[in-house]
A and B are shown apart, each in its own frame.
Chain A
């Protein structure tokens, strides 16, 4: 299966943005979805794991959800700041092959 994300999103400071991640085949709730943030020149960090869980140190402005009706996962970031400008990747895995699958990434611009 593949995970499809929008290529880019643009939002204003202080607003809320939602980034979608649609699974092409198989139910979105078959396997957990993770979200990673990657700022330019840096390694990725985890911002959401197991669909909705937030690691310690990640602000509660970040939240994750899944929607079985659209077979998609979403990352929502509220109270946007310039520090949130980054690439965001969703990720899951294929139970039958144990291959990890990343979405293509979404570039978030805040201005």
Chain B
């Protein structure tokens, strides 16, 4: 079955960087676009970024564009989210998610990793 396991979350100071990872299994990873979605404490879901199956195309939410970079390693079945110049408002659970049948459709979600930006 499809499994998405995020790691790398933690506490980081404002202005610093952090990279979170998501290891995938149970499906043909190299054929699937992957999303990152975040959820601030007590708030709703916010889409962060998407990367195409081959890593060539990447799109970002305006709130993170220029600070975050999504990448993938299809040999390691892993997608990454590099987060730079972090702000307090970036504090959230970060979910990686697999594209489903059509663009925008997410058919599987990881359990999330918590990133806390605080001094």
Contact = CB atoms under 8 A, between A and B. Distances in A.
B101 A102 contact: no
A35 B88 CA distance: 29
A105 B45 contact: yes
Contacts, number: 66
Given A99-B61, A102-B44, A49 B101 contact: yes
Contact of A99 (B44, B59, B100, B101): B59
Interface residues of B, number: 23
B109 A91 contact: no
Contacts of B12: none
Interface string A7-45: 000000000000000000000000110101010000111
B46 interface: yes
Interface in A31-66: 31-32, 34, 36, 38, 43-46, 49-50, 53, 55
Contact of B45 (A32, A55, A102): A102
A31 B61 CA distance: 18
A45 B112 CA distance: 13
Q: Which of B45, B100, B102 has most A Cβ within 10 Å?
A: B45
B102 to A, nearest CB: 6
A102 B47 contact: yes
B109 A45 contact: yes
A100 B107 contact: no
Chain A interface, >50% SS class: strand
B47 A97 contact: no
Interface residues of A, number: 27
A68 interface: no
Q: Which of A32, A49, A91, A100 has most B Cβ within 10 Å?
A: A100
Given A49-B105, A93-B103, A98-B59, 19 more contacts: A32-B102, A32-B104, A34-B104, A34-B106, A36-B45, A43-B95, A43-B111, A43-B112, A49-B100, A49-B107, A50-B101, A53-B101, A55-B107, A89-B44, A91-B45, A99-B59, A99-B61, A102-B37, A102-B46
Interface of B: 35, 37, 44-47, 50, 59, 61-62, 95, 100-107, 109-112
